Homo-oligomer: A and B are copies of this chain.
Amino acid sequence: MMDTVAVNGEVRRLEELRLQDFLQSFFFGAGFFETFLIEEGAPMFLERHLARLRSSLAAHASCVRAPPPEVLTAGAVREALRRCLEADVHLGPRFTGVGKWVAGDGRLLLSFRSLAPQHERTLRDGWVLDEVEDRCYRRGDPSLNHKSLSYLRQYTHLGRGTVFVNEAGELCEVPNGNLFFLVGDTVVTPPLEAPCLPGVIRSVLLEEGRLGGLPVVERVLTRERLGDVRGCVLTNSVSLVLAVPLLLGRALPESHEWAGYARTVVREFARREG
C-alpha cells in the first residue's frame, strides 16, 4: 500500500491517520469498500463504483456513518485522485495500479496499491476453481450484496480456488469476483439473490446483454448441472475478466476464448463511458 492517501478529498500520509477516527469501521466492520483499476492515471468505471458505494451507504444509513455527500460526487473523487497522484512520486499522473475507497465513520478514505506481481500471469493463465465452500452462503442473504468491511469470510479464502455455494447447491460467487458460465447457447451468471455481490464488471456484461453472439442472463446454476457448463469466466474490477480453465474438476478449455470476448466487451464499454 502506498503512503499517500486522501481522506474526504484531503491528501494525507497514511502514517498520520489515527485509529480513533475510524473506530466504527474497525470495531464492527461497519463500512464499505470499493477496489478499482487505475490505468495511466485514469480510474475505470469510477461512476459505477461510486454509485454502488452510495447505494450500500444508503441501505445502512441507520448504522454506518456515511461521508459528507459532497465528497461522494464523481467530480470530487476525480479531483482527490488527481491530487494524490500528483503529490506522490511513487504514484504520478500516469499511475497504473489499484485504487481503494473505504467509506465509514463519516469519512471516505482513498488509498493505492500496485498490481500484484502475478497479475499478468493470472490474466494469461486464468484462475483454477477447485474447492467448494457450501456451509456459509444462504440464498437471499442481503448482507452479501454489499462490499462491506465485514469481509473475513472472503478474506479467508482469498488467493484460493474457492466457489461459494448456497444451501440449495447453487453456485454463488468466488472470494475475488463474480462468475459467468457458458451453458448451452446462453451465458448465465448467478442472480443477486444467490447471493452475490453486484459486481461492476458483472453489471457491464449484463447490460451489454450479449457475449460472443450469445445472450447473457441471470440464472441459477446448481452443482448438479455442472456437466452442462462449456466455459466459465470470473470477473472483478482489477483483473476485469479471468478465464476459469478448470471448474471443480471439469476442464473447460473454451474458457480462454470466452474470457477474451468478455474482456473486449468490458474494454469497449469502459471507452464509451469515458
Q: Is the CB of A138 within 8 A of B167?
A: yes
| Interface core residue of A14, A100, A140, A150 (most chain B CB under 10 Å) | A150
Query: When the two chains form the complex, which single residue of B19, B140, B156 contacts A60, counting CB atoms closer than 8 Å?
Result: B156
Q: Which residue of B lies closest to A136 (CB)?
A: B141
| 8 intermolecular pairs with C-beta atoms under 8 Å apart | A15-B18, A17-B20, A27-B33, A28-B151, A60-B156, A136-B142, A143-B152, A149-B150
Q: Is the CB of A153 within 8 A of B150?
A: yes
Question: Which size bracket describes the interface of A in this complex?
Answer: 35 or more
| Interface core residue of A19, A148, A158 (most chain B CB under 10 Å) | A19
**Per-residue 0/1 for A151-166: is the Cβ within 8 Å of any B Cβ (1 yes, 0 no)?**
1110110100000001
Task: Note all chain B residues with C-beta closer than 8 A to A64.
Answer: 152
Taken together, the copies of this chain in the complex come to: 2
Beyond A19-B21, A63-B155, 6 additional pairs, beta carbon < 8 A: A14-B19, A19-B19, A22-B26, A27-B151, A28-B155, A150-B150
Query: When the two chains form the complex, which single residue of B19, B140, B149 contacts A152, counting CB atoms closer than 8 Å?
Result: B149
Q: Which residue of B lies closest to A3 (CB)?
A: B20
A8 interface hit (Cβ, 8 Å): no
Q: Which residue of B lies closest to A143 (CB)?
A: B153
Nearest 9 A/B pairs, CB to CB:
A150-B150, A29-B29, A150-B152, A17-B19, A138-B138, A28-B155, A28-B151, A29-B150, A29-B152
Q: Is the CB of A27 within 8 A of B102?
A: yes
Task: Note all chain B residues with C-beta closer than 8 A to A112.
Answer: none
**Per-residue 0/1 for A112-141: is the Cβ within 8 Å of any B Cβ (1 yes, 0 no)?**
000000000000000000000001111111
Query: When the two chains form the complex, which single residue of B22, B27, B138 contacts A135, counting CB atoms closer than 8 Å?
Result: B138
Task: Note all chain B residues with C-beta closer than 8 A to A138.
Answer: 135-138, 141, 166-167
A176 interface hit (Cβ, 8 Å): no
A37 interface hit (Cβ, 8 Å): no
A30 interface hit (Cβ, 8 Å): yes
A1 interface hit (Cβ, 8 Å): yes
Q: How far is the CA of A148 from the CA of B27 in the complex (A)?
A: 9
